[in-house]
Amino acid sequence: MSSFDWGEFQDQTIAVRAGHERTQFREHSEPVFLTSSFAYDSAEQAAACFAGEEDACIYSRFTNPTVSVFEERLAALEGGESCVATASGMAAITATCLGLLNQGDEIVASRSIFGSTTVLFNKFLPRYGIAVHSVSQTDIGEWERTITPNTKLLFVETPSNPLTEVADLKALAALAKKHQCLLVVDNCFCTPALQKPLALGADIVIHSATKYLDGQGRALGGAVVGDKENVGEKVYGFLRTAGPSMSPFNAWVFIKGLETLNLRMKAHSESALALAQWLEQQEAVERVYYPGLASHPQHDLARQQQTGFGGIVSFVVKGGQKAAWELMNRTQLLSITANLGDAKSTITHPASTTHGRLSPEERAAASIDDGLVRIAVGLEDIEDIKADLHFG
């Protein structure tokens, strides 16, 4: 079915069907090709495949049929020409930067990005002569003032982790176009089920498949989606050489995860909204961050560019780190873990975990308060989730 035009189908159909071409065994479910390399009938055929004259798999660091099903399915859901699967979400971000940038190039990135992305940008990329400038997620004027003739990428994650700040993707896409750079969007929190950055003008979409694409906290993976030249050639060219490729088994887990993505994202969003509304009423809670709340500063923008508000709710408890840790230690159902996007609800203290490698100044700049708690609302009954939160 890989030659199908998936553009004619609805998302839920694409998520269940796209990318799988049955083998001679006529299997119904997608097979897992756990093989490092592929064999040929003759030396001549091997030579033709290595020369690119025959379209065939060579080695699983380059291509693998199970990984290709995942790539094709995700590309169809995001509306991109090409998708490259990677070993993790961080591998997707690293491959995008190193595949597309040269020494002397610059990135303008939101300050409100995931902790490891901040470390990659502030500590490692500068070693290779790539400067990264941080700006406010929501101040388009600051983005524009920070762009220089050397700027090649604008990088944003929306909604952001953990404060769920929403960036205006159409405005950033227009800015990228005006200054001839690429807009790269980490679509981890929404997934294509709730937001399609390419349709809003972005050039490249990044995923940590580890999160909602899997949906059950089982495997690490990532993906880069975009056009043939930048993603299909440049990012892929770096990846097949440098090596952080997705394992076929993990690809199979993500293929199965995609089949239920739309249903899960709706359920996560519904429960997260109910939890956020309930948290707003709690005396011990100073502030709630959730794009679905009317009190969220970018609520209207989130309504325009997303079809749902996602499963992440963050809030500041009165009493700083002590109160936050006490709340977490009283939970019995919620899992104290840094992952998100799981069927099981998770509770995290960003300042001491996901954002713990940031300096106190970097944390302050990103508004990561010591009393901040993030809940990735899972698929348990919402009443049980609320009942597990005891505010002392």
Q: Which residues bind ligand PLP (CB under 6 A)?
A: 88-90, 114, 116, 157, 161, 186, 188, 208, 210, 220, 222
The DSSP H or E segment spanning 71 is: helix 65-78
Kindly tell me which of 93 and 317 has the beta carbon lying closer to ligand PLP. 93
Kindly tell me which of 165 and 186 has the beta carbon lying closer to ligand PLP. 186
- Quote the least distance from Cβ 298 to ligand PLP, whole Å: 17
- Quote the least distance from Cβ 143 to ligand PLP, whole Å: 19
- Quote the least distance from Cβ 305 to ligand PLP, whole Å: 17
Kindly tell me which of 184 and 323 has the beta carbon lying closer to ligand PLP. 184
DSSP assignment of 292-337 equals: TSTTSTTHHHHHHH-SS--SEEEEEETTHHHHHHHHHHH-SSSEE-
In the bound state, the residue with its beta carbon closest to ligand PLP is: 89
Distances 386 to 293, 339, 342 between C-alpha atoms, Å: 17, 20, 17
Kindly tell me which of 89 and 257 has the beta carbon lying closer to ligand PLP. 89
- Quote the least distance from Cβ 39 to ligand PLP, whole Å: 32
How would you class 22 by CB atoms within 10 Å of its CB: exposed for 0-12, middle for 13-18, buried for 19 or more? exposed
- Quote the least distance from Cβ 10 to ligand PLP, whole Å: 27
CA Rg, the chain, in Å? 21
- Quote the least distance from Cβ 209 to ligand PLP, whole Å: 7
What is the Cα–Cα distance from 264 to 5, expressed in whole angstroms?
Answer: 25
Closest to 90 measured CA to CA, from 182, 157, 22? 157
- Quote the least distance from Cβ 353 to ligand PLP, whole Å: 10
Beta strand 151-157 with 182-186 is parallel
Kindly tell me which of 20 and 342 has the beta carbon lying closer to ligand PLP. 342
Kindly tell me which of 64 and 191 has the beta carbon lying closer to ligand PLP. 191
- What's the farthest any 2 CA atoms get from each other in the chain? 74
What is the Cα–Cα distance from 121 to 133, expressed in whole angstroms?
Answer: 9
Assess contact for 357 and 376: CB atoms under 8 A. Answer: no
- The stretches of 230-308 forming alpha helices (DSSP H) are 236-242, 248-259, 261-280, 299-305
What is the Cα–Cα distance from 382 to 11, expressed in whole angstroms?
Answer: 27
Kindly tell me which of 120 and 284 has the beta carbon lying closer to ligand PLP. 120
- Quote the least distance from Cβ 223 to ligand PLP, whole Å: 10
What is the Cα–Cα distance from 119 to 126, expressed in whole angstroms?
Answer: 11
Kindly tell me which of 6 and 315 has the beta carbon lying closer to ligand PLP. 315
